[in-house]
Structure 1
Amino acid sequence: PNLYIMDGSVIPCALGVNPQITIMALAWHGAAQLAAEIGN
């Protein structure tokens, strides 16, 4: 597939706090995985 979506929809429920840092960390990890995959 050539479509990658990285956003907060992977969090299954409300965290009770602002999820901005969590979403940023998930996007950072996803971007690293994508870069590794493209590099191969």
Structure 2
Amino acid sequence: MAYDAGFNVVVPYENISTEDAKKIVQDAIFSRDPKRD
């Protein structure tokens, strides 16, 4: 999808678990500011 949308650089994720993939997708859909302590 990123290539089709015209992005110049796409960085793949390697060696991630199913749980990590869920978190990455959720963060991409529902982006938010970093938590501040």
Higher relative contact order (Cα pairs below 8 Å, separated by 6+ residues): 1
Q: Which has the higher helix share?
A: 1
TM-score, normalised to structure 1's length?
A: 0.39
